């Protein structure tokens, strides 16, 4: 079982993602914005992070940068509705391990988590 931080402003996505993660035997913890997410990442030290891209305040890309600047070395998967290739490339350049698209399905999220936990 892994502690997994989900940073997403949408209660629907937090609910659905949390439901899947619990079903997979993991322990999800939640943040609704970047500031809270970075704080939880530092304090709770989750094994990996599921990060939304379009957030109020700090964007997902800014959060990726902030995590690196603060030397919080936790593998991150971006989960976004924005399926443009250029956005994916930018996220990977900023240090994300992978990018998956909403709405995320159980099988897909399971693969992503397994990939993150191997990093």
Q: Show the DSSP H helices in the chain as ranges.
A: 11-23, 34-44, 60-69, 85-93, 106-118
* Shortest reach from residue 1's CB to another protein, in Å: 16
Residue 52: what are its φ and ψ, rounded to 5°? -75, 155
* Shortest reach from residue 104's CB to another protein, in Å: 10
Residue 61: what are its φ and ψ, rounded to 5°? -65, -40
**Of 15, 70, 93, 114, which one interacts with another protein (CB under 8 A)?**
15
Single out the residue of 92, 29, 32 nearest to residue 64, CA to CA.
Answer: 92
Within 62-81, the residues that bind another protein by CB under 8 A are 80-81
Specify whether the CB–CB gap between 25 and 3 falls below 8 A: no
Closest to another protein by CB, 16 or 64? 16
* Shortest reach from residue 72's CB to another protein, in Å: 22
Q: What are the residues binding another protein (CB under 8 A)?
A: 10-16, 18-19, 22, 28, 30, 54, 56, 80-87, 101-103
């Amino acid at each position: 079982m892994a502690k997994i931080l989900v940073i997403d402003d949408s209660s629907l996505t937090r609910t659905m993602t949390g439901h899947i993660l619990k079903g997979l035997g993991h322990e999800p913890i939640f943040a609704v914005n970047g500031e809270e997410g970075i704080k939880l990442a530092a304090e709770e030290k989750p094994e990996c992070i599921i990060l939304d891209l379009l957030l109020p305040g700090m964007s997902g890309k800014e959060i990726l940068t902030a995590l690196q600047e603060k030397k919080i070395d936790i593998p991150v998967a971006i989960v976004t509705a924005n399926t443009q290739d250029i956005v994916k490339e930018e996220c990977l350049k900023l240090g994300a391990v992978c990018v998956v698209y909403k709405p995320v399905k159980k099988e897909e999220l399971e693969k992503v988590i397994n990939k993150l936990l191997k990093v």
